[in-house]
Amino acid sequence: MDRQPVLVATKGPLEGARFPVGSEGITIGRDPDCVVVLDDANVSRFHARLVFHNAAIWVQDAGSRNGVFLNEKRVVRHKQFGPGDELVVGDHAFTLELDPLQQDPSLTGAPVPRPTEPSQGSRLVWVGVVVALTAVAMWVALR
């Protein structure tokens, strides 16, 4: 049986809330556009994100002022996040659980894509981003 990762709030005002982690990942912060909105002065507008990469979920600090902590250690670049780990953002704590994978009703019966299998389109986007960043770095270096 396939299982879907779910971010579960274990401490703070959202305690008990569950946020399915889709293939697009999750954003965490004070901004209303974030998937997980935290009303906390110690949390940046866009504080952290969870992303899928190499068949795993990774936590990234999105440039927050007060940091993101995974298992009591500050996340400097990115850290792999798995079931049983504790993620702390401001005064909020989260863990990762695996729930049976369910279909999204908006897909009208189409199977839900597995988060560990990125689409060809998303691979092309990442290749484009890498090429663009390389070109900019080379341009800056030659100036």
pTM higher than 0.75? no
For range 78-99, the mean pLDDT: 92
Contact 39, 91 (CB under 8 A): no
Q: How far apart are CA 28 and CA 50, in angstroms?
A: 8
Write the DSSP string, 27-65. Answer: EEESSTTSSEE---TTS-TT-EEEEEETTEEEEEE-S-S
- Coil, strand or helix at 83: coil
Kindly report which listed range (38-47, 69-78, 113-122) carries the lowest average pLDDT score: 113-122
What pLDDT was estimated at residue 52? 80
Q: Taking 60 as the threshold, does the pLDDT of residue 2 lie above it? A: yes
What pLDDT was estimated at residue 139? 75
Longest dimension (CA), the chain: 55
